Structure 1
Amino acid sequence: MSEVPLMFNTEKLETTEFYQHRFKNFSTYLIVPAVMALVIALAFVLFAKREVTITTSGELTPVQKAVSVQSTTTSRIIENHLKEGRFVKKGDPLVTYHDVNNPTQLKVLETQTKQLQDQTAALDKYKTGLTSNQDTFNQDDPFGYRQALQDYLSQRRIYALGSQQVSGQQSSENSKTAKVGQLLQQSIASSNQNIAAYQALLTAIQHQSGYNDSQPYSYLYKSFIAESKDMTGSDLDKVKTSYISQIDAKMDTEKSQLESLKLQQANNEASDTSQQQLAENEQKMAALQASQLKSVADQKNQAAQSLTELNGKVAILKDQTSDVTVKAPTSGTLHIDASLQGKHYVPSGTTLAEIYPVLKHQKQIKLTLAVSPTEITSVKQGQKVRLQVSRNIPVPIILNGIVSNIDTAPTITKNGNLFMVTANVSLSKQQARSLHYGLTGKVSIITGQKTYFNFWRDRLFNQD
């Protein structure tokens, strides 16, 4: 066999073996990569940052508040165009009520007409009673005219009695004056006696000089003696002062009465003023009657004018039907109260539906979320928020927004006191077509950034 020639250099072979022995060993294959990975991981932990977030739940709401559509009457609904999710334009008919005015307004107007007619009849009786000066009512009326007539007749009777009193003979008047003067003189004498008795009693108590039992007001002296028995010094002075004060008060009253009696006595002079008083009473009765008749005439004119207006309104209502249609106050999508579906009668003021802005046409939506009082201090306007809607959909929807408003006070909820936070979220056309008002999801409020090292350190030591 022929010998195979040597095709490689032996020196090169030795160099390769040396290289492999030196560099392709355990250290180069395992330890060095591990050290490099550890250095990279340590650098990542020390310098790489992660977001610090507050996690809560939020709900998508319209930027503009939904417009309520309310029932305007209790009449029967004859046309109902309300349907959940229906798009309506401003002015579109929503609900039509049958004959709104006739059953209600007509009844009210007829009641008012009857009341005015009864008032006019009562005024006629009142006027007849004023002119004849007698009670022309058989029973009390709801307008108070019988009572007013009786008050008028009573006042007139007072004037008549006054006229009768002054129409007597002057001699009789003089006799009455004399009798009154005699009575006044007796009263003045009695009052003087009482003052003298009080003065004597006052002196007796001051000096403890005794007081006759037959004298007036001896009971006060007896009471003083009994109360001051065995008393001396300041105790006795106190009792004296008390009784002296009582007697002074009674004496002052008696003196005031005496002055009044003297004034009456001075004014009790016989003078013939009967004719003047009779004329004055006649004038008073005539003025009273004229005033009452004018009041009746004014009230009758006002009632007649109101009655004419009401009769015109009643005639118009009887000649027309008044079906009323409630129209959409703005354009948008309807949200219906399901409990009112199919009902033909609903109370006035009931909210029938709400009109929301069409979401697919919106470039923004409002995100409303609740934050606990312990976390609200970390939330600031302008911070970023992230909403993740993932329930019952194949691909989660992520929405990003900015905090726009923070309530200054908490709202009481079944979960305790929570601060309501609002964020504005921008929407793409695809997102606007996929979303619905009222969707809820997990919300993260990004309050800042920390390195991973600081994050785990704070987590380990329970620091915020």
Structure 2
Amino acid sequence: MNQNNWQNTSQFYSQSHKHFYRWIIYPTVVLFLFILLFLFFGKKEIIIQSQAQITSDLVSKIQIPIESKIIENKLSENLSVKKGESLVKFDIESLKQQKSSLEKEIPLVQNQILANQTFIDSLKQGKSLFTSDDDFGYSNQLQSLLAENTASDYAFKQSIIDHESEKSTYENSKNSIQKSISKKQVEKNDWKKIKSAWSSQSNLSGASEDATSQYLNFQEQLKASSKEEKEQVKVNISSSINDKISQIDQELEQLEMEQSKLTPPASYDNEKSSQEYKKKQLVEQTIATAKQKSIEFKEAQEKYNLELQEVNKQIQDEIITSPIDGFVHINYNVKDHKIIPKGEVIAEIYPEIKPGKIEFTSQIEASDLTQVKSGMRVHFKLDSKGNSPIIMEGKIKEISANAETSERGSFYIVKGFLKQTNKTPFNSRYGLNGRLSLIVGKKSYFNVLKEIIIKN
């Protein structure tokens, strides 16, 4: 057989077809196995999407610390400032004058306290302890009092005549106060009965005619009120009754105090004792008045010291400096104003955004929160029309404890940090918005495909 005709034989074609199907089946099997492996071991991220905004928790508010006119204001929108840099200066001339006045007043009050104490000590010892005339007249007052005591020795006989009159006045005052106390106690008992009857909304019994009339008046007020007002009227009248009882208690306390202050005239069994008693009483009253003055002076001294501390603090607030490095955002409502109320926020300083640590804030629906936790990874795609997308990766650092309710539903505040992953340049600013994707889990592509088939 001719060797050139070997390809025409049936054996050759049989052998060729045998090798051809192998080149089709083997790659198909390998591809099928690869697809199966991918379906079972490949994972698809499960995400929750929400809007997010670039924010900061380190915003420093610039508030007006004192009620003074602004004489220098360097604040302007987007101004770059350094920590400690002067921003606002106030006119503190009036504060300096107030400080000068207080610094003069405080030593004056201190000297007055010392002179008053010397006056008290002199009264206790019955002689003058002043080494010279004081500026407040205590020395002269003491000399006058001592002279008065001397003159009283000569007028002692006249006091005997006045004794009976004093005794009568004492008894009258005592009886008058006792009658007033008895009357008030009866009135108090009536009001207690009114209170008891009103609490149970029952009839009043065993009370005076005036008390009965007052109780009927209360009932008329309740009847005249509408159904909605009845409870409030009851409360108001109960409060009025309690106030009246408290008022009577105070009046009784005042009467008992007046009763305790009544001093019976001294007995004339020992005329010398009576004279000494009067002199002692006068001295004690004068000492009591002087001690009261001493309390007032010390209160004034404390008040002036506190005012001086406050003025010094306000003077220290003459210049507002920047608490942090950052950029200024001014309050346009008070821009260029010279007089601004104390406590008003005139600007906010935002820290410079660091590319490796950009903060974000987002709202997550309450229904999705069960899948969200701190430390969870997130994707953030910044809104950028017509440009390459700006993508960042990050983690959640904080989830609010309570939900905020609005017309759109209940939402939780989620905060975290971002870091840009691509190299697309952009001007990072607070307030920029974007799409936040929270990675809550992973699912194999086989399960994804199965769910699609079942759903369809």
Instruction: Using structure 1 for the length normalisation, give the TM-score.
Output: 0.51
Deviations along 1:358-381, whole A, 9 cap, x unmatched?
225x53122222222222221233
Equivalent residue letter for 1:370? Q
Structure 2 Cα separation of the partners of residues 386 and 357 of structure 1? 23
Task: Tell me the amino acid that sits aligned with residue 100 of structure 1.
Answer: I
Indicate conservation of the 8 Å contact 2:394/2:419, yes or no. yes
Q: Where do residues 12-27 of structure 1 align in structure 2 (5 Å cutoff)?
A: 12-13=7-8, 18=13
Aligned to 1:283: 279
1:142-157 equivalent positions in 2, closer than 5 A: none
8 Å CA contact retained: 2:378, 2:439: yes
Judged with a 3 Å threshold, the aligned counterparts in structure 2 of structure 1 residues 448 and 66 are, in CA distance, closer, same or farther, namely same
**Could you say which residue in structure 2 is the equivalent of 1:70?**
63
**Is the CA contact (8 Å cut-off) linking 1:89 and 1:328 kept in structure 2?**
yes
Question: Which AA in structure 1 matches 2:54?
Answer: L
Q: How does 1:50-129 map to 2 (within 5 A)?
A: 50-62=44-56, 65-97=58-90, 99-102=91-94, 106=97
Contact 2:86 2:321 in 1 (8 A): yes
State the 1:50 CA deviation: 0.1
| Aligned twin of 1:342 | 336
Distance 1:125 1:32 in 2: 124
Deviation at 1:442, TM superposition (A): 0.9
**Counterpart in the other structure of 1:144:** none
**2-side partners of 1:307 and 1:53: how far apart?**
64
Query: 1:53–1:43: structure 2 CA closer, same or farther, 3 Å change rule?
Result: same
How many angstroms apart in 2 are the aligned matches of 1:161 and 1:28?
Answer: 149
Aligned to 1:282, the other structure's residue is in SS state helix
How far apart are the structure 2 equivalents of 1:42 and 1:304?
91
What is the alpha-carbon distance in structure 1 between the residues aligned to residue 34 and residue 317 of structure 2? 80
Which of these residues, 421, 443, 448, is aligned with residue 441 of structure 2? 448
User: CA contact under 8 A between 2:45 and 2:442: conserved in structure 1?
Assistant: yes
- State the one-letter code of the partner of 2:346: L
User: Which deviates more from structure 2 when the two are superposed, residues 437-446 or residues 337-346?
Assistant: 337-346
CA distance in 2, matches of 1:280, 1:431: 103
Q: What is the alpha-carbon distance in structure 1 between the residues aligned to residue 447 and residue 300 of structure 2?
A: 90
- Give the distance between the partners of 2:301 and 2:36, measured in 1 at CA: 98
1:366 corresponding residue in structure 2: 359
Question: 1:48: how far off?
Answer: 2.1
CA–CA separation in structure 2 for the residues paired with 1:375 and 1:338: 39
Deviations 1:330-387 (A, max 9, x none): 2222222233333333222112222222225x53122222222222221233321111
**SS of corresponding position for 1:435:** coil
Q: Is the 8 A contact 1:363 1:428 kept in 2?
A: no
On the 8 A contact 1:385/1:423 being kept in 2, the answer is no
Shift, 1:278, TM fit: 3.0
SS state at 1:392 partner:
coil
Distance 1:69 1:18, change over 3 A: same
Seen in structure 2, the aligned counterparts of structure 1 residues 308 and 87 have a Cα distance that, compared at 3 Å, is closer
Letter in 1 for 2:372: V
Using a 3 Å threshold, how does the CA distance of structure 1 residues 455 and 294 change in structure 2: closer, same or farther? same
Q: What letter corresponds to residue 163 of structure 2 in structure 1? A: Q
Where 2:366 maps in the other structure, the secondary structure is coil
The 1:390–1:401 alpha-carbon spacing in structure 2 relative to 1, beyond 3 Å, is same
Match runs of 1:286-365 below 5 Å: 286-292=282-288, 294-295=290-291, 298=294, 324-360=318-354, 362-365=355-358
1:295 to 1:423, Cα distance in 2 relative to 1, 3 A: closer
* Amino acid corresponding to residue 325 of structure 2 in structure 1: S
What is the one-letter code of the residue matched to 2:345?
A: T
Alpha-carbon offset, residue 421 of structure 1: 2.4
Contact 1:100–1:322 under 8 Å retained in 2: no
Q: What per-residue deviation string (whole Å, max 9, x for no partner) do you get for residues 15-46 of structure 1? A: 69947995899x99999999987776555434
Letter in 2 for 1:285: Q
In 2, distance between residues paired with 1:428 and 1:72? 43
Q: 1:358 to 1:162 in 2, by over 3 A?
A: farther
Q: Aligned partners of 1:308 and 1:21: how far apart in 2?
A: 116
Query: Higher Cα Rg: structure 1 or 2?
Result: 1
Deviations 1:76-129 (Å, cap 9, x if unpaired)? 3333221222211122221222x2341x67479879999x99xx9xx9899999
CA–CA separation in structure 1 for the residues paired with 2:343 and 2:166:
71
Structure 2: state its 5+ residue gaps.
113-134, 146-158, 168-266
Question: What is the aligned partner in structure 1 of residue 192 from structure 2?
Answer: none
C-alpha separation between the residues in 1 aligned to 2:74 and 2:393? 37
Matched AA of 2:41: F
Instruction: Give the aligned residue type for 2:164.
Output: Q
Residue 401 of structure 1: CA displacement? 0.9
Structural RMSD (CA): 5.5
* Partner residue in 2 for 1:178: none
Give the fraction of aligned pairs with identical amino acids, expressed as a percent: 24
Q: Is the 8 A contact 1:130 1:292 kept in 2?
A: no
Q: Is the 8 A contact 2:60 2:348 kept in 1?
A: yes
Q: Please state how far the C-alpha of 1:287 moved relative to its aligned partner.
A: 2.2
Asked whether the equivalents of residues 361 and 415 of structure 2 are also in contact (C-alpha less than 8 Å), the reply is yes
Structure 2 Cα separation of the partners of residues 127 and 299 of structure 1:
20
Letter of the 2:319 partner, please give it. T
Pairwise CA distance, 1:65 = 0.8
Q: Is the 8 A contact 2:268 2:274 kept in 1?
A: no
Deviations 1:388-437 (A, max 9, x none): 11233501111101222333333445544322222222357967863222
Amino acid across the alignment from 1:57: Q
